[in-house]
Structure 1
Amino acid sequence: MFAIATRNFVEEVDDEGSLIPVTSLNDNIALLTVVVKHKRFWFWQKPKYLPTDFDLNDILREDTPIKPVVIKTDFIKYSGKFGDKMQGTMGADLAKNNVSLQGEDSSKLQSSFGSLKKQEVDMQKLLQDSKDRVLDMSHCLIQQTKEKRRRVFGIVKERIVTSQPCSVIEEVQQGGQCGGNLSICCPSMTKVLLKENASLSKDSDVTLEIPTHTTIAYGLIELQIKHDGQFELCVISDTDGGFEEVDGPIRQKELPRVSGAPARSSENCLQRELEQLSDHFQLLSALPASTRSALLQQIKKLLQDQTAICALEDVLDQMCQDKTPAPGDFKTTESQKQNIQAILALLEQTSQEGPTQSTSVLTALHLLTSALDEMTHDCLAVLEMCCSPAVLKTLELLVQHASGNGELPLSKEALSALTEGIYEKTEHLFASCKVSLKRDGDMVKTEINKQPGNLPLVLCIVIRSLASLAHCV
């Protein structure tokens, strides 16, 4: 809840910038706090940031601490409300019985952070104070971080803090109604009777009171660390930090070539990158129909909750590194845990066809969940509404043409699936991923915006993967 609120905040105020949302109220983020940056499995994934209990002074060799000069300024006054609403109706006449079912779910997340302050380290003073200083390479934090590849040290150079008590409020409403009469008698003599106008509802309201001086976002400066403990601050944004190998230069953060993870090409060619991933989409579509249908339904449930998606991505990431996650690693609610375990059980079924098949499906599912983890809450809500096979088939055609000539004449089948309401949602989904849609009669034109980053690729991966699961379902 707090993590979603801070993530929404960063997406609104600094989507293309350097601010990192705080994910837990337990994280004590102060200026000069050491944060471990973890490069992810796929090159297009945003890094993960792991705040530590240490600051820069804790890992310096000398005893004289660095006392940063702090610049304090007003930032913005922020209040945001995010939500989605789903409705459904079903009616049926069964001989002497008739029944109508209605359901409605809605959720709202309101963040009122109030007037926010920005605290920044004076970089000129920090550069002077850190010159000729040396890190204690025997410190346990440095030793443990060096052992793991794709890990980089950063220190907090700026943070956004609350200046007054504030709150995050989540409201969830679930309701259903049943009209008419329906009685069911089963062989075991259990009788279910739904009387006219029966209703069921469940509401929950949760409020987090956040105290003054709570950090909700922060910025980092990375460190280039030599094997003898000397280090440099990466003051230029495109300069990467890392550890120097004993017999070589500073370790680069580029990912090792893993199956299906294309290296970023200089042309950033979307079509070429999707072609390199096509084996994963084909693998999903080749699964048994029952497995594909079950996976699609379980993943559709995940779209309601970013926290569950993040948890599943963490579990699959560990499995891709040949690690066995413990049940305690699921930092989720009981229902989310059951959803994740159901997906892992379906993955386990594929092992009956051989270990190679199971490993390949694992990578394909990790590809999908990693892409979902890059999407906003708003995008996930739209995706959930578009998860029918007919709509996914049309969306798949749209992303294929987005990476090609950009124009798609719609068939009668596609036109019927792409109703006005669905088209509006699709247009919003694509726009959120830096792809514009323009419809003229039965022709739809797709165009990738300037400086889109990896968002168009993420969109294509998600839709191609979900459509592969929906084939012939």
Structure 2
Amino acid sequence: MFHKATKSLAKQLDPEGDLIPVRCLLDQNHFGPLCLVQKKCKDPLWRKSRYHKTDYKLRDVLLTGEPASQPDIYDSDSFTIVDHVDGKLEGDVTAAIDLATVEIKSSSSTSHARSVKVKKRHISRQVLDSLHGKSKINLDHPLIKQSEKFQRDLYIITETVETVEAAEFRDSSKTEGSVLAELRLKMKFTGLRDSKKAVIVPKACALAFRVKRLLIREGSLGVSIFPDDRTQTFRSCKPGYQSDAVRIDMRSKTKHQLMEIQQECAPLLSLSTDLCGKFLNGFLAIIRNNDLLQELELQLEQALDGINPIKLKTSRPELQELVDNLQDSTGSICTDVAGSVLYFLQALDELSESELLLLEESVERKIVPKQTALVQCILEEVNSNKEWKLTIETQKVSPFIEDELDITEAMIKSCGVTVQRSGAGLLVTGNPDAFLALSALYVALYVLKILSG
């Protein structure tokens, strides 16, 4: 819930910028000015930048007595952000299937309220310039030695958005439904799901941050000025290294994108039917509960980390079978399958709450294969259509009935893409910014298709 709130606030503050939301409330004190964070060498092409805490600040890795170890941090004036959403959706469907008549009625409502007073804390440009080539790094520090060994880039946090006073973030959702079926015998089923969550954010809590890459050359410290600098923390760019700028260009190459997705998810194709069912049940539990997603994603990142691997464990019964089958009887992680699961969870983490709810409904209605084919078709077609306005002929994808298309359209719309019927085809419109969001959705659909097929 905290991460969902910080993502929303970061987007509200800087829709087109590089403001990075803090993911975990417990770790927020590791994302203040002058804290060092790490970026792993491999991230999915469709994923936004992810930075991990290191538990160290700049002063910890400088040689003793360096004057740059305590640079000044400046505060901006405070301002208040208000983010309030309140919505309700109702509908009913009646269908005749052979001897049965099925009537489905449902209503759902969702709301969140956030009002928080914040300020910006930052290091001045002059201070960053003064660090370049004049400050000395302790090359024997454990963080420096391990980061160089595993070729992990290091970054310094230069700016944060922090709370001025304690604030409460509240979320609530309610779904009601009833199914009335007549098939010689009259039956009625009703259901209600009601969820209310709140988190109290303390004063001086980091909500979002910006970073600059550190450059370490012969024991001297430097700070990269430009975000698309192709140098790395410990060495210059070598042949084959891909900077962020190059990666952005590659994202337009759909063939490369789809190949990556298929390769990363390939280990799931070898699962038995029984294991597919267990994984699918675990994934649906994760889709329903964002806390489970955060718990397992963090554990998998640590378990697959070559530096400090851990054993997976959970106290959640809905995750137990999934966790048990990601490691062997000795507790050793099953690297290939666990890597595919982490890849899937990373995609889920990019999706909105409404997309996750629609994913669950799509699995229940067994329309995921149709949706997967449609999204893949859009990604392939848009590669040669920069204006993101295209028509997909119906013979390229399986036909949708009206309510299936409504669900699919709502899901894709969350990515910034609209789908409408147009004669014998589907009219798709959007913009290039939607490519990454649609790619993450495709990963989620592709994995659910494998497991449910």
The structure-2 alpha-carbon separation of the partners of 1:319 and 1:251, relative to structure 1 and needing over 3 Å to count, comes to farther
Q: 1:338 and 2:320 equivalent?
A: no
Provide the rounded CA distance (Å) in 2 between the counterparts of 1:242 and 1:165: 38
Q: 1:112 and 2:91 equivalent?
A: no
The structure-2 alpha-carbon separation of the partners of 1:442 and 1:388, relative to structure 1 and needing over 3 Å to count, comes to farther
Q: 1:326 and 2:311 equivalent?
A: yes
Instruction: Name the SS for the 1:386 alignment partner.
Output: helix
Deviation (angstroms), 1:238: 1.0
Q: Counterpart in 2 of 1:213?
A: 204
Instruction: Name the SS for the 1:404 alignment partner.
Output: helix
Deviation (angstroms), 1:167: 0.9
The structure-2 alpha-carbon separation of the partners of 1:294 and 1:18, relative to structure 1 and needing over 3 Å to count, comes to same
Matching residue's letter, 1:307 = D
Instruction: Name the SS for the 1:212 alignment partner.
Output: coil
Match of 2:422 among 440, 447, 456: 440
Q: 1:292 and 2:273 equivalent?
A: no
Matches within 5 A, 1:85-104: none
Cα deviation code 1:100-138 (max 9, x no counterpart) = 99998876543221x332233221243135551112222
Q: Counterpart in 2 of 1:312?
A: 296
The structure-2 alpha-carbon separation of the partners of 1:24 and 1:373, relative to structure 1 and needing over 3 Å to count, comes to closer
Matching residue's letter, 1:14 = D
Matches within 5 A, 1:258-277: 266=250, 268-277=252-261
Q: Counterpart in 2 of 1:259?
A: none
Unaligned runs of 5+ in 1: 91-99, 180-195, 256-262
Cα deviation code 1:6-26 (max 9, x no counterpart) = 122223433542112123334
Match of 2:227 among 226, 232, 237: 237
Deviation (angstroms), 1:240: 5.3
Cα deviation code 1:73-103 (max 9, x no counterpart) = 455523234789899999xxxxxxxxx9999
Deviation (angstroms), 1:455: 2.7
Provide the rounded CA distance (Å) in 1 between the counterparts of 2:54 and 2:148: 15
Matching residue's letter, 1:77 = I
Matches within 5 A, 1:136-215: 136-149=138-151, 151-171=152-172, 205-215=196-206
Cα deviation code 1:265-302 (max 9, x no counterpart) = 74731134314543566764564444334433331221
Cα deviation code 1:316-342 (max 9, x no counterpart) = 4455568863245x5xxx4xx333332
Q: 1:419 and 2:402 equivalent?
A: yes
Q: 1:79 and 2:83 equivalent?
A: yes
Matching residue's letter, 1:155 = I
Instruction: Name the SS for the 1:368 alignment partner.
Output: helix
The structure-2 alpha-carbon separation of the partners of 1:23 and 1:285, relative to structure 1 and needing over 3 Å to count, comes to closer
Cα deviation code 1:414-450 (max 9, x no counterpart) = 54x4424x43442233233344423214411335622
Deviation (angstroms), 1:470: 2.5
Q: Which TM-score applies when normalising by structure 1?
A: 0.72
Instruction: Name the SS for the 1:48 alignment partner.
Output: coil
Cα deviation code 1:228-251 (max 9, x no counterpart) = 321211111112564425xxx468
Matching residue's letter, 1:342 = E
Once superposed, what is the RMSD of the aligned Cα atoms? 4.4
> Which shifted more, 102-111 or 286-295?
102-111
Provide the rounded CA distance (Å) in 1 between the counterparts of 2:173 and 2:359: 19
Q: How many residue pairs get matched?
A: 422
Cα deviation code 1:331-369 (max 9, x no counterpart) = xxx4xx3333322345569x9xxx9xx765444434322
Unaligned runs of 5+ in 2: 95-102, 181-186, 382-389
- Structure possessing the higher radius of gyration over alpha carbons: 1
The structure-2 alpha-carbon separation of the partners of 1:15 and 1:304, relative to structure 1 and needing over 3 Å to count, comes to farther
Match of 2:354 among 378, 381, 396: 378
Matching residue's letter, 2:113 = Q
Match of 1:466 among 440, 448, 451: 448
Instruction: Name the SS for the 2:319 alignment partner.
Output: helix
Check the 8 A contact 2:368/2:445 in 1, yes or no. yes
Deviation (angstroms), 1:453: 5.3
Q: Which TM-score applies when normalising by structure 2?
A: 0.75
